[in-house]
Structure 1
Amino acid sequence: MLQEVVTTDLEQVPGFDVFTNMDAETRNGTAIMVRNGIDVENIKTLTDGRGIAIKIAETQVVNIYAPSGTENKRTRSQFFNEDMCGLLPHNNSNVVLGGDFNCVSAPEEQVPVLNLCMDLQELLRKLKLDDSWRVLYPDTTEFTYYHNHGRSRLDRIYVTRELAASVSHVEVCPVIFSYHCAYKCKLQLAKRKIP
């Protein structure tokens, strides 16, 4: 899952199918890369490029880039309460929700100033999503964004409780192409049910 994507040249990455969603005006967007040979269906996008969702077998994979900044709290609230609804399944499917949330859902995720988002907390509660990092490391925090005044854990992947047991590896790693660290999560997606 990639956020703040500014090019569609990702489609040339060998071994992967890339699904992008770019805002026509700002030319920013989101993308999901999937290994060649994995069946993808039901692609959904937000018109502003801030979200894309695909279905793989029995799992809805959603990638978001939430509005940032203190001045955008109201816009971010609308994003979590309204805009994202079109990307989410209408039943109790398995969900992987990842991306740059540009806010935190727990106090330990930001130092020193807290940008706690109650709307995100409520969304996670409604969807019964668990933080993939906390599944393996309930008492440790790794930050994904560092700045002059502190550090935050803005980039996360949440999974439905049914998928939480399959999370086998998570890792935060610096990358040279972004001011955010990459967040890696290895899990086993639910297999397609055969009628």
Structure 2
Amino acid sequence: MAHAPAPFHIITQNCRGLNAPEKRSHLLQDLKRRRVSIALLQEMHLREADTHRIQNKHYTTTYHSSHQTTRKAGVSILLSTNLQFTHSETLKDTDGRYIFVKGTIAQRTYTFASVYAPNTNQVKFLRRTLLKLATFTEGILILGGDLNLPLDPIADTSTGHSTIAQTAIRRLRRTLHDLRLVDTWRALHPDSRNYIHYSTLHKRYSRIDYIFIQQEGLTHLQKADIKPTPWADHNRNLYTPRLSHLQAH
């Protein structure tokens, strides 16, 4: 007989630096208040020696990738103590641009990935990173991150266009399609517009932060929201997919 444990709640968030103690406190309080199970974080700006500062009694299991020499980039995955996660493997780069973690929850295998694309050559970086992730992945893949580009400029920007060439964006979308990755928010809101970030340079609102799940995991997707996060860089919205998972007995 199968039963459904409580849904787990996943967010992705660009933090634009967490060296300030008040900002780390805001983050951890926000995660607890929202009852977040898994936080996929980008632009941490923390040195490896300082990553323990975003742990507390509610989030003791954390994985990080920091830049080797400077306080820039940086990605993390935080897991709630309420989530019984059994870790099996981690893969991360040396520039703080991605981290992949896999393991089991309720006897089901998952791979979680947090990715922070640079603001130049995004498509080249993302396609290369996705191919690495495809080799690493086992079970259901959930990828969250700041791609630094809109996947559909017409629907995902206030101006209807992007500085990234359409041919390059189409190549990236094909790579995502080949990996069977689905944009969770767009899957549940096919005709809606909502934005994550405002660029003062381009005077444009855009949706450049995403959470993807592989097609076989879509049946577990219950909800996907964009909500305010006033303390963070991408401060208008926060992705919050909720996923159920079945455990056979």
User: What interval of TM-score do these two structures reach, taking the shorter chain for normalisation?
Assistant: 0.7 to 0.9
Distance 1:62 1:141 in 2: 25
Give the C-alpha shift of residue 151 in structure 1. 0.6
Q: Kindly tell me the number of residue pairs found equivalent between the two proteins.
A: 188
Per-residue CA shift, 1:55-86, capped at 9, x if unaligned?
A: 13222111100111xxx2xx323212224433
Determine whether 1:3 maps to 2:42: yes
Cα gap change, 1:150 to 1:64, in 2 (>3 Å): same
Q: What is the alpha-carbon root mean square deviation over aligned residues?
A: 2.3
Higher relative contact order (CA 8 A, sep 6+): 2
Correspondence list, 1:1-195, <5 A: 1-7=40-46, 8-16=51-59, 17-27=61-71, 28-36=73-81, 37-57=84-104, 58-68=109-119, 72=120, 75-89=121-135, 93-106=139-152, 107-112=154-159, 113-114=161-162, 115=164, 116=166, 117-148=169-200, 149-180=203-234, 181-189=237-245
Identical positions, percent: 24
Cα gap change, 1:111 to 1:85, in 2 (>3 Å): same
Distance 1:160 1:51 in 2: 18
Give TM-score, length-normalised by structure 1: 0.85
Q: Helix, strand or coil: the match of 2:224?
A: strand
Distance 2:172 2:233 in 1: 23
- Contact kept, 8 Å, 2:110 with 2:138, in 1: the verdict is no
Q: Which structure would you say has the larger Rg?
A: 2
Unmatched tracts of structure 1, length 5 or more: none
- Contact kept, 8 Å, 2:102 with 2:138, in 1: the verdict is no
Unmatched tracts of structure 2, length 5 or more: 1-39
Deviating above 6 A after TM superposition, structure 1's stretches of 4 or more consecutive aligned residues are: none
Give TM-score, length-normalised by structure 2: 0.68
Give the C-alpha shift of residue 122 in structure 1. 1.8
